[in-house]
Amino acid sequence: MEWTDEGIVLGARSHGESGAIVELLTMEHGRHLGYVNGARGRRLAAVVQPGNTVAAVWRARTDEQMGTYTLEGVALRSGALMGSRLALYGLATMSAHLRHLPERDPHPALYVAAQALVSHLDDPDLAPRLLVAFELALLAELGFGLDLGRCALTGVTDDLAWVSPKTGRAVSRDAGAPWADRLLPLPAFLGARGAGEDPSPEEIAQGFALTGHFLERDVLAPSGVQAPPERARFVGLATACAERA
């Protein structure tokens, strides 16, 4: 068995004298583990760092085996990520979220969202909105996608200001006004009109509160786990950066 794919390094744990078991999120083969011989050596140590994008060749005698990887660096961004607390918290959050996916189950759309995120994790202006977008993509890939494109009550697509915490559907400002205290705010940067605007600290918090509600209800609680602590640290640091901007 053999395949070639592109992947993002999610983690690597030492195995044997000089090797490591490396976890990748790949475009066509999903979250996939493989053994890398010499991973702790001079040539490969910098390649198998989390956040890097690599070209991977996987080989095994049967499809059920863990198999081995041959890796080549494509985008070695881990050095820049390690210099940013925001990036490290975001990377840890993304990796924890991805472990809710079944191994070897391909999710190309989520891979694209993850690539966009890791490419800008050290940018305080872009990273918050990209992590929210990644969490929305994760919910969709797991079967819990939100409908933020039109009002659930009237069908209009303008002035969407709320989201139902029960259905995950958007509600317009006027239609939702009588139930505003029961609805989740929909920050402008998640709508079509606010896509190009920098979110305020309040909107960043609202975006993460929105995705956090549905992640907790539909993904974390049924699995008996909690959100990674790095997520709250990322949100705190992201909102602080926005306040200083």
Domain residues of the chain, as ranges? 2-76, 81-148+186-244
The residue with greater pLDDT, 21 or 245, is 21
Give the pLDDT score at 198: 81
What is the per-residue pLDDT across 180-222, written as a single tens digit (0 to 9) for each?
A: 999 999 999 997 554 557 899 999 999 999 999 999 999 999 9
pLDDT class of 63 with cuts at 50, 70, 90: confident
- pLDDT greater than 90 at residue 17: no
**What is the reported pTM?**
0.94
Burial level of 226, CB count in 10 A (0-12/13-18/19+)?
Answer: exposed
Among candidate residues 52, 58, 57, the one with its CA nearest the CA of residue 74? 52
Domain spanning 2-76, CATH architecture: Beta Barrel (2.40)
Give the pLDDT score at 116: 97
Give the pLDDT score at 193: 54
Residue 206 sits at the vertex; the CA angle it makes with 163 and 153, to the nearest 5 degrees, is 10
Q: Virtual CA dihedral for 53, 57, 63, 68, nearest 10 degrees?
A: -90
pLDDT class of 154 with cuts at 50, 70, 90: very high
The answer to whether the Cα torsion of 91, 96, 28, 73 is positive or negative is: positive
